Structure 1
Amino acid sequence: MTALSLDRVAVKRDGDVTLALPGPGVTVLLGPNGAGKTELLETIMGLRAPLAGTIRLDGADIDRWPAERRARAGIGWCPEGRRVFPGLTVAENLELVAQAPAWERRRRLAMVLDYFPALRDRQGAVAWTLSGGQQQMLAVGRALMTAPRLLLLDEPSRGLAPVLVAELFAVLRRFADAGLVVLLAEQAVEAALTVADRAAVLERGRLEVIGRPDEIRDHPALARSFLG
């Protein structure tokens, strides 16, 4: 079982986040632009150094690990903005990141296409020709091809129609039910809370509150974070 713990990790001046993800489930980070959501995910991934604090993965201190070592240890990354390789086909985008024998790449590819059947008939299509929703599916699928135990997603709903947001979040719920630890930053509050096990509200890099979705929906910290 994968466990992540953040012990007073600061990603903004005067902020800190103490958070434990003890096992499979969906945890959503809520807050407006500038709250520190992206910074926190990038810090966990090793793309930026924390201002303070300690990050542990399965009990090991990973503060000094570069991003590639964290990826090999099972942290998957799906950044904001999709960032697919536009000149490569869907299949090439997926297989490029899978550092595994051919049989294992085929297994992972079959898994991704099971989660995202809309990509099955587009495997030979160049990525830039996909719709925005299909590109987001491809970005998430590409992260899955690294066989992560912990999946970090930054604003995966951005730019998607509500029906596609609901479909994507339903797939994230399936990930968690299959044993994956999912941590995502979001501004689509209600859609994210519908599939989350826990939610945390960030404000200026500080964790204001964390709890079950039903506890967070009406919490003053959530309204204050978005409405001021």
Structure 2
Amino acid sequence: MASDALVLDGVHAHYGRSHVLHGVSLSLRRGALLALLGRNGAGKSTTMLTIAGLIKPSGGRISAGGTAIDALAPEAIARSGVRLVPQGRRVFPSLTVDENLAVAAQMRPVPRPWTMERVFELFPHLERRRRQRAGTLSGGEQQMLAIGRALMGNPEVLLLDEPSEGLAPLLVVEVVRGIAQLKAEGLSIILVEQNFKLAMTLADDVVVLNTGAVAISGTAAQVLADPKAFTSHLSVT
């Protein structure tokens, strides 16, 4: 559908002989934030890596903006407008903040292209560190930098894998504020997040995975209206 920024249709994925994703289907609406939830080992990060092309699907179809991307190399998927902020951040530690952003810059036909100045407007904390090597930044600063680096590619779809993991509470607030602003500006986002309350403050739609398959799918309001589902699939009470 034209309203969908990203669609997974019956996606399977393996690690060697281990069958990890079992026919995962989901749709990310344009301008929406989809929270992808589940217990540890449910297949959330595998789904994100498969979308980004770092794991090749063994079945099913993935499309972005109506165009199939499941057979593309990771760099081609990134150029198509799908960008992953991986778990663990993975910034270039020996490069400065400015250099990390500069090497990721990619011009794409978007209404309002991302520049370093826009990244620093989103995360003012980073501007004060712009000539500092990324390896010397705090975890929260590195997370902001990882998000900013992805934005420098001018994505249409942003994949955020555990952005609050290991961060001090004050920096979690700053990262969440940035994500909320990106959502308000119309960026389509998939968010994997262990912090349930945080995820639900941002989510428009929710997909819950259990052992590599979709257990629950719906709007945030629909999912919140069924607390038994959380007890059985997320251990939330």
Structure 1 length-normalised TM: 0.91
1:147 matched residue in structure 2: 154
1:5 matched residue in structure 2: 7
The answer to whether structure 1 residue 226 and structure 2 residue 234 are counterparts is yes
After TM superposition, give the deviation of residue 164 of structure 1 in Å: 2.4
After TM superposition, give the deviation of residue 225 of structure 1 in Å: 2.1
Q: Tell me if the contact between 2:96 and 2:132 (Cα under 8 Å) persists in the aligned partners.
A: yes
Separation in 1, partners of 2:185, 2:197: 23
After TM superposition, give the deviation of residue 216 of structure 1 in Å: 2.2
* 22, 44, 47: which one aligns with 1:40: 47
Unaligned 5+ runs, structure 2: 14-18
Greater Cα shift, 159-168 or 62-71: 159-168
More helix by share: 1
Structure 2 length-normalised TM: 0.88
After TM superposition, give the deviation of residue 13 of structure 1 in Å: 4.8
After TM superposition, give the deviation of residue 221 of structure 1 in Å: 2.7
1:160 matched residue in structure 2: 167
What is the aligned-residue identity percentage?
A: 43
Deviations 1:16-56 (A, max 9, x none): 21111131111111111110000001111111111321111
Q: Which aligned pairs between 1:72-87 and structure 2 lie closer than 5 A?
A: 72-87=79-94
Question: What's the secondary structure of 1:15's corresponding residue?
Answer: strand
Question: What's the secondary structure of 1:118's corresponding residue?
Answer: helix
Which 4+ runs in 1 deviate beyond 6 A?
Answer: none
Separation in 1, partners of 2:213, 2:107: 39
After TM superposition, give the deviation of residue 99 of structure 1 in Å: 3.2
Separation in 2, partners of 1:15, 1:219: 25
Deviations 1:69-111 (A, max 9, x none): 111110111000011111111100111111349xxxx951111
Separation in 2, partners of 1:203, 1:128: 35
One-letter amino acid of the counterpart of residue 138, structure 1? L
Q: Tell me if the contact between 1:13 and 1:51 (Cα under 8 Å) persists in the aligned partners.
A: no
Query: Number of paired residues?
Result: 224
The answer to whether structure 1 residue 214 and structure 2 residue 221 are counterparts is yes
Unaligned 5+ runs, structure 1: none
After TM superposition, give the deviation of residue 14 of structure 1 in Å: 6.9
Q: Tell me if the contact between 2:114 and 2:154 (Cα under 8 Å) persists in the aligned partners.
A: no
Over aligned residue pairs, what C-alpha RMSD do you find?
A: 2.0
Question: What's the secondary structure of 1:54's corresponding residue?
Answer: strand
